Amino acid sequence: MRITLLAVIGLVTVCGSLDAAPARSRFTQDPYPSTYQPIASGPVLLRNATVLTGTGERLEATDVLLQDGRIVGVGQGLQAPAEASVVDATGRWITPGLIDVHSHLGVYPSPGMSAHSDGNEATAPVTANVWAEHSVWPQDPGFHAALAGGVTSLQVLPGSANLIGGRSVTLKNVTATTYQAMKFPNAPWGLKMACGENPKRVYGQKGGPSTRMGNIAGYRAAFIDASEYLRKNQPKPATPKKKRWWESASGGGTSDSAGDSGGKRDLKLDTLAGAINGEIRVHIHCYRADEMAIMLDLAKEFDFKVAAFHHATEAYKIADRLAAEGVCGALWADWWGFKMEAFDGIQENIALVDRPANGCAIVHSDSEEGIQRLNQEAAKVMASARRAGMEIAPERAILWLTRNPALSMGILEQTGTLEAGKMADVVVWNQDPFSVYAHADQVYVDGARVYDRSDRTRHPKSDFMLGQDAATGGAK
């Protein structure tokens, strides 16, 4: 298969449209904006690799050209600009940068001290007002370990103690002193919700909910408030309807908010309203198939869309429905049994969610260890699937780690595949990545070589790790 996707001419306009800030409603204005700046870097030609594009294709003896932070071309025999650094990738594999849709890096960082326990605002069952980004500790050494595993973007979520835990944040996996400098430009927020055992366990003795029916009542009450808030905060038509003498003095006006009758801003309802109007993506921690079905009904009742069910150890039982409704399953390869709602987990869960047409399977980590080897997690799924008679090719499996998480997080137009014009988030592997022996040799974020296994100067190190063991080299 021979394709060339050089798009140098069109690049500027493409980039312009990709980077344009989306129009935001008042619910999703950002007072804590991204200050992320790609690291300046010259063009890079990665030459003669096996390339998994993340669009479902596997290309042999193929080059990938990175320039000005973007992927410029994927094809055979690409010409490098004169100043390009050329990497001989013969025998190596290239994939899009990996994306973890479920991480608590930064909010439950290493070391896991009580002072660092910032992932669950477990003070009330509905805390849609909190934003995970305000808990992120950028010095978490876990970010660097994940980078060495090829992870270039991640969604950091609040924990699952609460029915509605708050806003997630999507980060580029770059080192920075502030989280704003890691914040993925213009990525939508997520909303973290949780089904089942966790909320009822945490709040069972603290005023409830203490049952699954209590959980559902809790979501409904919150979304009823949000629907009312959304209605009251709808932009008013440009020409106000004629005011009658008995109507309130407030209301009317021409600007967006001049006619509000919604009262003062409510952070909790801002987030839920943003979820209903589709600007904030709903990610739900939910294990059991029957509970996922309830959550899909809840989503219909309040007219929001579920981006993904997370953990979802029983997703395989409703794989067809998830695919039909365009809901992704963000899943582990093999975790199960640590609690009752995880008792039916199987190793083929991801393969079975992937199986239907339009199935959207994602390998997620929820773990500072697992995020370092998402490729191995996928390889385990492929092996289990093969044992069950399902052969899944590497060019398919890579979607679980790149395209599909990007889709669920609303960043697929910017990253997640190796297509001209996208962010140059790229991993060069020393071999087929679906192996326990695979290493990420080089990792590029927006075209900058931010990790290189064979170059110590490209091994970022957290402030926390400095001076811990100078004599012997310290922790890797």
Binding site for another protein (CB under 8 A): 1, 55-58, 110-113, 141-142, 145, 197, 316-317, 319, 334-340, 343-348, 352, 355-357, 368-369, 372-373, 376, 379-380, 382-384, 386-393, 395-396, 399, 434-439, 464-465, 468-469, 472, 474-476
Q: Measured in whole angstroms, how far is the alpha carbon of residue 395 from the centre of its chain?
A: 20
272: number of Cβ within 10 Å:
29
The nearest distance, CB 185 to another protein, in angstroms, is 25
Q: Are 98 and 149 in contact (CB under 8 A)?
A: yes
Closer by beta carbon to another protein, 292 or else 319: 319
User: Rounded to whole angstroms, how far apart are CA atoms 401 and 54?
Assistant: 9
Q: Are 105 and 146 in contact (CB under 8 A)?
A: yes
Q: Which amino acid is at 264?
A: K
**Hey, what are 223's tokens?**
């979304």
DSSP letter at 9? H
The nearest distance, CB 337 to another protein, in angstroms, is 4
Closer by beta carbon to another protein, 141 or else 421: 141
The nearest distance, CB 148 to another protein, in angstroms, is 9
Closer by beta carbon to another protein, 271 or else 349: 349
Closer by beta carbon to another protein, 130 or else 397: 397
The nearest distance, CB 415 to another protein, in angstroms, is 16
The nearest distance, CB 258 to another protein, in angstroms, is 45
DSSP β-bridge partners for residue 67: 70
User: Rounded to whole angstroms, how far apart are CA atoms 220 and 201?
Assistant: 19
Q: Which amino acid is at 135?
A: S
Q: Which amino acid is at 260?
A: D
**Hey, what are 19's tokens?**
């980077």
Closer by beta carbon to another protein, 265 or else 355: 355
The nearest distance, CB 175 to another protein, in angstroms, is 16
Closer by beta carbon to another protein, 153 or else 313: 313
**Hey, what are 305's tokens?**
């869309």
User: Rounded to whole angstroms, how far apart are CA atoms 434 and 373?
Assistant: 10
